[in-house]
Structure 1
Amino acid sequence: MRRDGDGARLMRLAALAEAVILAWGWRKRLIALVAGASGALALPPLDLWPLIIIPMTVAVWLVDGAVGTGRGSRFRAAFAAGWWWGFGFFLAGLWWLGAAFLVEADKFAWAMPLGVVVLPAFLALFPALAFGAARLAWPQGAGRILVLAAALAASEWLRGHVLTGFPWNVYGMMLAGEIHLAQFASLAGLYGLTLLAVAIGAAPAVLGTAKTRAGIWTAPLLALATLAGLFAFGLWRVPAGPSPVVAGVALRLMQPNLPQDAKFNGRNGEAILNRYLELSDRATSPTTPGLQRVTHLIWPESAFPFLLGREPRALARIAAVLPPDVTLITGAARAGETLPGESRPPIYNAIQVVNDEGVIVASYDKVHLVPFGEYLPPFLERLIRSVGLSEFVSIPGGFAAGRARLPLAIKGLPGAAPLICYEAVFPGEVAVRGPRAGFFLNLTNDGWFGQTSGPYQHFAQARLRSVEEGLPLVRVANTGISAVVDAYGRTVASLPLGVEGVLDAALPRPGPTTFYAWAGDLVFAGMLLVFLAISRLRAA
Structure 2
Amino acid sequence: MERLAGRIMLLWGWRRAFAAFLAGAFAVLMQAPYDFFAAGFVSFPVLVWLLDGATAPASSGLLRRFRPAFAVGWWFGFGYFLAGLWWIGGALLVEAENFAWALPFAVLGVPLMLAFFYGFATALARLLWSDGIGRIGALAFGFGVAEWLRTFLFTGFPWNAIGYAAMPVPLLMQSVSVVGLIGMNALAVFVLAMPALLSGQRHLRFGLSLALLLVLAHAGFGSWRLAQTEQGDRRLVVRVVQPNVDMSRKWDAAEEDKVFGDLMRMSAEAPAEGRPKPQLIVWPETSVPFLFTDRPDALAAIGAMLTEGQMLLAGAVRSEGDGSQGATLYYNSVVAIDAGGEIVNAIDKIHLVPFGEYLPFADVLERIGLKQIVAGPMNFAAGTLRKPVALPGNVLATPFICYEIIFPKLVAIDVSSSDIIVNVTNDAWFGNTPGPYQHFRQAQVRAVETGLPVVRAANTGISGVIDRRGRVIDALAIDARAYFDVDVSLPAQTGRPALRAGFVGLVIVGLFGLISAGIAVARRIVRN
Q: What TM-score, normalized by structure 1, do the two folds share? A: 0.91
Matching residue of 1:484: 465
Matching residue of 1:143: 134
Q: CA deviation at 1:409?
A: 1.8
Q: CA deviation at 1:264?
A: 2.2
- CA RMSD, Structure 1 to Structure 2 (Å): 2.1
Determine which of 177, 193, 204 is the counterpart of 1:216.
Answer: 204
Matching residue of 1:168: 159
Contact kept, 8 Å, 2:270 with 2:277, in 1: the verdict is no
For the residues of structure 1 that align with 2:483 and 2:310, how far apart are their CA atoms? Answer: 16
Contact kept, 8 Å, 1:186 with 1:514, in 2: the verdict is no
Q: Structure 2 vs 1, CA of residues 434 and 513 (structure 1 numbering), >3 Å: closer, same or farther?
A: closer
SS state at 1:28 partner: helix
Q: CA deviation at 1:91?
A: 0.4
Matching residue of 2:526: none
Residue 51 in structure 1 maps to residue 42 in structure 2:
no
Residue 299 in structure 1 maps to residue 283 in structure 2:
yes
Matching residue of 2:476: 495
Determine which of 201, 223, 234 is the counterpart of 1:246.
Answer: 234
Residue 23 in structure 1 maps to residue 11 in structure 2:
yes
Matching residue of 1:277: 264
Residue 127 in structure 1 maps to residue 118 in structure 2:
yes
Q: Structure 2 vs 1, CA of residues 412 and 265 (structure 1 numbering), >3 Å: closer, same or farther?
A: farther
Residue 188 in structure 1 maps to residue 169 in structure 2:
no
Deviations along 1:467-494, one digit per CA (max 9) or x if unpaired, are 1111110111111111111111111111
Deviations along 1:307-350, one digit per CA (max 9) or x if unpaired, are 124411111222232234322111101112359x8523211111
Greater Cα offset, 492-501 or 263-272 = 263-272
For the residues of structure 2 that align with 1:515 and 1:359, how far apart are their CA atoms? Answer: 33
For the residues of structure 2 that align with 1:17 and 1:293, how far apart are their CA atoms? Answer: 63
Contact kept, 8 Å, 1:45 with 1:456, in 2: the verdict is yes
Deviations along 1:277-304, one digit per CA (max 9) or x if unpaired, are 122234564556xxx7222211111012
Residue 401 in structure 1 maps to residue 382 in structure 2:
yes
Residue 98 in structure 1 maps to residue 89 in structure 2:
yes
For the residues of structure 1 that align with 2:159 and 2:414, how far apart are their CA atoms? Answer: 24
Greater Cα offset, 166-175 or 214-223 = 214-223
For the residues of structure 2 that align with 1:350 and 1:42, how far apart are their CA atoms? Answer: 34
Determine which of 309, 315, 327 is the counterpart of 1:325.
Answer: 309
Deviations along 1:59-86, one digit per CA (max 9) or x if unpaired, are 1111111011134333111111111100
Q: CA deviation at 1:503?
A: 0.9
Q: Structure 2 vs 1, CA of residues 170 and 325 (structure 1 numbering), >3 Å: closer, same or farther?
A: same
Determine which of 448, 461, 464 is the counterpart of 2:445.
Answer: 464
Contact kept, 8 Å, 2:310 with 2:339, in 1: the verdict is yes
Residue 255 in structure 1 maps to residue 255 in structure 2:
no
For the residues of structure 1 that align with 2:135 and 2:492, how far apart are their CA atoms? Answer: 38
Q: CA deviation at 1:382?
A: 3.4
Q: Could you tell me which runs of 5 or more consecutive residues in structure 1 were left unpaired when the two chains were aligned.
A: 1-12
Matching residue of 2:525: none
Q: Which amino acid aligns with 1:355?
A: D
Q: Which amino acid aligns with 2:283?
A: W
Contact kept, 8 Å, 2:181 with 2:502, in 1: the verdict is no
Identity of counterpart residues, as a percentage? 40
SS state at 2:40 partner: helix
Matching residue of 1:426: 407
SS state at 2:119 partner: helix
For the residues of structure 1 that align with 2:510 and 2:311, how far apart are their CA atoms? Answer: 49
Contact kept, 8 Å, 1:309 with 1:360, in 2: the verdict is no
SS state at 1:308 partner: coil
Matching residue of 1:450: 431
Matching residue of 1:64: 52
Q: Structure 2 vs 1, CA of residues 33 and 279 (structure 1 numbering), >3 Å: closer, same or farther?
A: same
Q: Which amino acid aligns with 2:65?
A: R
Q: CA deviation at 1:155?
A: 0.7
Q: Structure 2 vs 1, CA of residues 52 and 473 (structure 1 numbering), >3 Å: closer, same or farther?
A: same
Deviations along 1:106-142, one digit per CA (max 9) or x if unpaired, are 1111101121111100000010111112112211221
For the residues of structure 1 that align with 2:516 and 2:415, how far apart are their CA atoms? Answer: 41
SS state at 2:259 partner: helix
Matching residue of 1:5: none
Matching residue of 1:371: 354
Deviations along 1:374-432, one digit per CA (max 9) or x if unpaired, are 11123xx2343233221112656611111112111223351111101111000111145
For the residues of structure 2 that align with 1:258 and 1:245, how far apart are their CA atoms? Answer: 37
Q: CA deviation at 1:442?
A: 0.6
Deviations along 1:479-531, one digit per CA (max 9) or x if unpaired, are 11111111111111111112111111012212665774342532122112211
For the residues of structure 2 that align with 1:511 and 1:175, how far apart are their CA atoms? Answer: 29
Q: Which amino acid aligns with 1:114?
A: F
Q: Could you tell me which runs of 5 or more consecutive residues in structure 2 were left unpaired when the two chains were aligned.
A: 523-528
For the residues of structure 2 that align with 1:420 and 1:175, how far apart are their CA atoms? Answer: 26
Contact kept, 8 Å, 1:428 with 1:520, in 2: the verdict is no
Q: Where in structure 1 do 4 or more consecutive aligned residues deviate above 6 Å?
A: none
Determine which of 297, 302, 325 is the counterpart of 1:313.
Answer: 297
Determine which of 159, 163, 171 is the counterpart of 2:150.
Answer: 159
Q: Which amino acid aligns with 1:184?
A: S
Q: CA deviation at 1:239?
A: 3.0
Q: What TM-score, normalized by structure 2, do the two folds share? A: 0.93
Count the aligned residue pairs: 518
Q: Structure 2 vs 1, CA of residues 227 and 435 (structure 1 numbering), >3 Å: closer, same or farther?
A: closer
Q: Structure 2 vs 1, CA of residues 280 and 15 (structure 1 numbering), >3 Å: closer, same or farther?
A: same
Contact kept, 8 Å, 1:203 with 1:219, in 2: the verdict is yes
